[in-house]
Amino acid sequence: MAPQTNIPVAANVLGTIGTVFWCIQLVPQIWYNWKQKKTDGLPGLMMFIWATSAVPFGVYAIVQNFNIPIQIQPQIFCALSLTSWTQILIYNKYASIPDFGPSHLLTLYFSGYRVWTATLLSTAIAVVFGGIQALLILTLRGPYNDGVEWPMILVGVIAAILLAAGLVPPYFEIAKRSGRIVGINFVFLAIDWLGAFFSLMALGGVMYIVWHVALTPFSSLSPASPLPEFRSLLLELGIFTSQLLFLLRTRSLRRKAKTAGIPFDELPEARKFVFPRPPLPEDDAEAGVKAEGAKRERRGSTVGKWASRE
């Protein structure tokens, strides 16, 4: 469990490249959010879980006295994740959409915040996370130096589970839009994927995973194991694949929209790829009839009241 002392040059270089990628991975997403001024399709839960995972990752790296870049990387990751989460609080428009049901209840907590409110909330959470990390470091460093390793294994397992769990919420957004990816910047996703790839190569590649899991099934969940990187590779590859399949399935629809000179989202046939679902033309007509009927009822009740007074 202790850090390696004799690290091959190739592994050191590959690991450094992976760490650099993971330090800057969220910068393109933050820029994209700011430029678009909307974050529909980017799950707030994803960013919050990632920010939370940085706490045990930081504890794991600092207590084991990894090199400085690896100790700093979780802190940068937490700050960038909370920055993106703050943008979601501000830009997300789901709170103004009625009747989206209990399955989307969490969206309410990630929507419609004012800039100062969201900034203060994120700053307060960052301070709390920093305090928890410092407390855990001071608590666990002594037992670890005395040879008690199970608390650090547990911290590492929690960190790895949270990191992988952060990539699950995008799949719910994908399901809402029938496989279409919205709100997630693919430059960010590519950088994150490359970070996982180079880190995995630094640990010995895919064959090492089989050997590692066979010999150490429990500790293989920790950040020192290749499994977290491998899980990230698979989950992010699934997101890439979903968007590729969406583009292949909608070639004719996108050509039709281009020929008609209208946005893809305005095509009636593209309705299932949009969330929230836009109303169909017949729904608009029916709503108009109902509104007109309601107006007549109110007008009739008003006339009746005046007649009764007379």
129-171 per-position pLDDT tens digit: 999 999 999 999 999 999 898 999 899 889 988 988 999 999 9
Stronger pLDDT, 297 or 230, i.e. the higher one: 230
pLDDT of residue 123: 96
Using CA atoms, how far residue 172 sits from 10, 89, 201, 290, in Å, is 38, 19, 30, 34
Report d(CA 58, CA 70) in Å as an integer: 9
pLDDT of residue 299: 60
> Do the Cβ atoms of 112 and 95 come closer than 8 Å?
yes
Report d(CA 53, CA 58) in Å as an integer: 9
Return all residues near 124 (Cβ < 8 A) that are at least 6 apart.
none
pTM, full prediction: 0.78
Stronger pLDDT, 281 or 302, i.e. the higher one: 281
| Tokens of residue 53, six digits | 């995972």
pLDDT band with cut points at 50, 70 and 90 for residue 13: confident
What is the percent of the chain with per-residue pLDDT over 70, rounded to a whole number? 71
pLDDT of residue 216: 45
Report d(CA 253, CA 268) in Å as an integer: 10
DSSP the chain: -PPPSS--HHHHHHHHHHHHHHHHTTHHHHHHHHHHT--TTS-HHHHHHHHHHHHHHHHHHHHTT--HHHHHHHHHHHHHHHHHHHHHHHH--GGG-----GGGGGGGGGS---HHHHHHHHHHHHHHHHHHHHHHHHHHHHHHHTT--HHHHHHHHHHHHHHHHTTSHHHHHHHHTTT---S--HHHHHHHHHHHHHHHHHTT-HHHHHHHHHH-TTGGGSTTSSHHHHHHHHHHHHHHHHHHHHHHHTHHHHHHHHHHTS-GGGSGGGGGGSSSPPPPHHHHHHHHHHHHHHHHHHHHHHHHHHHHH-
pLDDT of residue 226: 52
pLDDT tops 50 at residue 210:
no
pLDDT tops 90 at residue 291:
no
Mean pLDDT of the chain: 79
Question: Residue 130 carries which side chain, given as an amino acid letter?
Answer: G
pLDDT tops 90 at residue 99:
no
What is the percent of the chain with per-residue pLDDT over 90, rounded to a whole number? 44
Least confident residue range of 101-105, 114-118, 144-148, 222-226: 101-105
pLDDT band with cut points at 50, 70 and 90 for residue 77: very high
pLDDT tops 80 at residue 222:
no
Count Cα atoms within 13 angstroms, Cβ side, for 11.
Answer: 11
pLDDT of residue 71: 86
Average pLDDT over residues 39-68: 91
